[in-house]
Amino acid sequence: MDDIDLAAERTDMLNAAAIQAVLERAESAPSTGICRACNETIEEERLRANPYAKHCRDCADEAEARAQMTRRCGPR
């Protein structure tokens, strides 16, 4: 196999994984309305925008900040 074949195979695998993730998400139950991190109620407007939200706005912001830091600095 050459590099182009390997790249095409990798793209196919990534696409299949992305499709599977979407299908699993579609089959999962909507949010319970309780944040998994702090056990507080998730804001109504957040649930209207994303019925599958697992975290309140504050906890989601903190998780995103940690993810950005990890992308910039690497895992700690």
SS (H, E, C) 15-66: HHHHHHHHHHHHHCCCCCCECCCCCCECCHHHHHHCCCCCCCHHHHHHHHHH
Kindly state whether residues 16 and 40 are assigned to the same domain: no
The count of structural domains within the chain is: 2
pLDDT (tens digit per residue) in 14-59: 999 999 988 887 776 778 899 999 999 999 999 999 988 999 999 9
Kindly state whether residues 23 and 35 are assigned to the same domain: no
Look at residues 33, 37, 36 and name the one whose alpha carbon lies nearest to residue 46: 33
Kindly state whether residues 66 and 35 are assigned to the same domain: yes
Kindly state whether residues 25 and 40 are assigned to the same domain: no
> CA–CA separation, 63 vs 5, rounded Å?
37
- Span between the terminal Cα atoms of the chain, in Å: 37
Predicted confidence band at 71 (pLDDT cuts at 50, 70, 90)?
confident
What is the reported pTM? 0.57
Predicted confidence band at 75 (pLDDT cuts at 50, 70, 90)?
low
Domain span holding position 44: 31-76
Kindly state whether residues 24 and 44 are assigned to the same domain: no
